[in-house]
Amino acid sequence: MRSTQPARAPARRSFVALTACAAAVFAFAANQAHAASVEVLHYWTSGGEAKSAQLLKKMLEQKGDTWVDFAVAGGGGGNAMTVLKTRVVAGNPPAAAQIKGPAIQEWADQDVLMPIDDVAKAGNWNSLLPPEIASIMKYKGHYVGAPVNIHRVNWLWINADALKKVGAQPPKTWDDFFKVADALKKAGITPVAIGGQPWQEAETFETVALGVGGAAFYKKAFVQLDQATLKGPTMVKALETFKRIKAYTDDGQVGRDWNLATAMVINGKAAMQFMGDWAKGEFSVAGKVPGKDYLCVAAPGSQNDFTFNVDSFVFFKVKTPGVEKGQKDMAGLLMSPAFQEAFNLNKGSIPVRQDLSLSKFDDCAKKSSADFKAAGKTGGLVPSWAHDMLVSPAVEGAFYDVLGNYWISKDETAQQAADKLAEAAKAN
Ligand code: GAL
């Protein structure tokens, strides 16, 4: 039917078209205004870590925000923290950064972190988080950190075939461990895979100290930084046990990244690795099955203990308008059930919110969760100092130096190293 519109129809039609077009532009702009760009500093660059980080990126983008990746390679995060400091000093902090433990308080003390109490309240974090973890995320009672997971550090990962080859059982005590290590060495298999980096040596020592001295000793030494304990006989025994492991490692360890040491166990080039359960993320990416291809066991002597390491993100006050929306989106996402399940299934850790079913998780994760709960009741739950959860960055770095030098020294005695640990505890 012909249009009965007056001659002005083209003008009117173009006005309508123009309005529609303008509305579309404004809608897009509005959406863009809502679509915040969030620059995220993290150090998850290994196979398993990167896969987990990609999940966070994808879920943030599904909220309409843009993830600007600011990955700084280097296991344990030392490199990332150095880069972060330069960015903050330059007055140009990233919107979000992977920071945990006392460093959260130190950054909050600089008044550079955005409080996220509104997100925590909306997400009921106080009722979902273990109290000792919630307190790490708060500064003067306000949430400034969003937790992601619970990693367990005191694990020993074992290649199942290698253990079968020597007809051994997973070692429960340190005497057992060295018997198994001797049998593996005799069979021509490198018993222990390790990367020659300070944080890996420190983490291995932290696990040995827990197994040799127990949780009460660990807390006296590393929570209270008690001088007599740090230089006492139990610490000397822990240091001797730690250094004894060296003879069961390979010469190619210098500078080796942790995930390449894990790959040695995955491929049977080595039999065992002391490492937190981010290592499980590497086994998963390699398609390995726990209980069949590899075993996850508590490190010798630490079956009733759990060294926790909780990854978290803080959100810096940034000048760019509109970013805050993306920061809050990300904070809420990190503690959401969907993200907690998907991320931790890949990362090797267990969810930090305590209300989730672990039905989709493997036996290592289920064991980790059961041990976390049990250790929480018996006093066996301890924070990892080697992974930024306990001592100040200054003391942690000083401990790294003492242990790294002791590990490579030809003649330093355990007592000399213990005395240096006591001195290092005074660093500030
Ligand atoms: C830890 C971190 C883990 C994992 C590991 C190796 O400090 O909490 O998520 O990334 O370093 O890089």
Determine the atom of ligand 1 nearest the C-alpha atom of 259. 6
Domain coordinates in residue numbering, the chain: 35-151+309-364, 152-308+374-424
Q: Calculate how far, in angstroms, residue 75's C-alpha sits from the geometric centre of ligand 1.
A: 6
Categorize the per-residue pLDDT at 301 as very low, low, confident or very high, splitting at 50, 70 and 90: very high
Q: Pick the residue whose CA is nearest to atom 5 on ligand 1.
A: 76
Give distance in angstroms: CA of 216 to centre of ligand 1.
25
Residue 86 CB coordination number (10 Å):
9
Which pLDDT value is given to residue 18? 58
SS3 152: strand
Q: Which residues pair with 143 in a beta bridge?
A: 138
Query: Taking 90 as the threshold, does the pLDDT of residue 43 lie above it?
Result: yes
The answer to whether residues 314 and 107 touch, using CB atoms and an 8 Å cutoff, is yes
Q: Please choose from 43, 149, 274 the residue to mutate so as to test ligand 1's pocket, defined by most ligand atoms within 8 A of CB.
A: 43
pLDDT tens readout for residues 254-294: 999 999 999 999 999 999 999 999 999 999 999 999 999 99
CB of residue 277 inside a 6 A radius of ligand 1:
no
Going by alpha carbons, the residue nearest to atom 8 of ligand 1 is 311
pLDDT tens digit sequence for 56-92: 999 999 999 999 999 999 999 999 999 999 999 999 9
Q: How many CB atoms lie within 10 A of CB 234?
A: 18
Mention every residue, 6+ apart, whose C-beta is less than 8 A from residue 423. Answer: 398
Which ligand 1 atom minimizes the distance to the CA of 74? 12
pLDDT at 22: 57
Q: Give the DSSP H/E element, type plus range, for residue 190.
A: strand 190-192
Asked if 129 and 354 touch (Cβ cutoff 8 Å), the reply is yes
Q: Which of 194, 311, 346 to mutate to test the pocket of ligand 1 (most atoms within 8 A of CB)?
A: 311
For atom 12 of ligand 1, which residue has the closest CA? 75
Residue 388: is its pLDDT beyond 80? yes
Ligand 1 centre distance from Cα of residue 77 (Å): 7
- 309 Cβ below 6 A of ligand 1: yes
Report pLDDT for 14.
58
CATH topology match: 35-151+309-364 vs 152-308+374-424: yes
Given 3-state DSSP classes, what are the helix, strand and coil percentages for the chain, each rounded to the nearest 5? 55, 15, 30
Helices first, then strands: H and E counts in the chain: 19, 14
Residues 195-211: tens digit of each pLDDT: 999 999 999 999 999 99
Q: How many whole angstroms from its chain centre is CA 305?
A: 18
H or E element in which residue 77 lies: none
Domain 152-308+374-424 in CATH 3.40.190.10? The answer is yes
pTM over 0.85: yes
* Ligand 1: residue whose CA is nearest its atom 1: 76
pLDDT computed for residue 428 by the predictor: 85
Contact 196, 253 (CB under 8 A): yes
- Mutation probe of ligand 1 site: the residue of 40, 42, 44 with most atoms within 8 A of C-beta: 44
* C-alpha to C-alpha distance for 262 and 273, rounded to whole angstroms: 7
**What does the CA dihedral 353, 356, 359, 362 come to, rounded to 10 degrees?**
0
pLDDT of residue 349: 98
Distance 198 CA to ligand 1 centre (A): 14
**Sorting pLDDT into bands at 50, 70 and 90, what band is 21?**
low
Cβ contact 108:139 at 8 Å: yes
Structure tokens at 99: 């920071």
3 band by pLDDT with thresholds 50, 70 and 90: very low
| Distant-in-sequence, close-in-space partners of 264: CB < 8 Å, separation ≥ 6 | 190, 193, 270, 273
CA 258 to ligand 1 centroid distance, Å: 10
CA 56/CA 137 separation, integer angstroms: 19
pLDDT above 60: residue 16:
no
Percentage with pLDDT > 70 across the chain: 92
Residue 26's pLDDT band, with cuts at 50, 70 and 90, is low
Mean pLDDT of the chain: 93
Q: Would you say the CB of residue 219 lies under 6 angstroms from ligand 1?
A: no
3-state secondary structure the chain: CCCCCCCCHHHHHHHHHHHHHHHHHHHHHHHHHHCCEEEEEECCCCHHHHHHHHHHHHHHHHCCCEEEEEECCCHHHHHHHHHHHHHHHCCCCCCEEECCCHHHHHHHHCCCECCCHHHHHHCCHHHHCCHHHHHHCEECCEECEEECCEEECCEEEEEHHHHHHCCCCCCCCHHHHHHHHHHHHHCCCEEECCCECHHHHHHHHHHHHHHHHHHHHHHHHHHCCCHHHHCCHHHHHHHHHHHHHHHHECHHHECCCHHHHHHHHHCCCEEEEECCCCHHHHHHHCCCCECCCEEEEECCCCCCCEEEECCEEEEECCCCCCHHHHHHHHHHHHCCHHHHHHHHHHHCCECCCCCCCCCCCCHHHHHHHHHHHHHHHHCCEEECCCCCCCCCHHHHHHHHHHHHHHHHCCCCCHHHHHHHHHHHCCCC
| CATH superfamily entry for domain 35-151+309-364 | Periplasmic binding protein-like II (3.40.190.10)
Kindly state the average pLDDT of the residues 218-231.
Answer: 98
Q: Is pLDDT at 34 greater than 90 in this prediction?
A: no
Q: Is the CB of 278 under 6 A from ligand 1?
A: yes
Atom of ligand 1 nearest to the CA of 149: 9
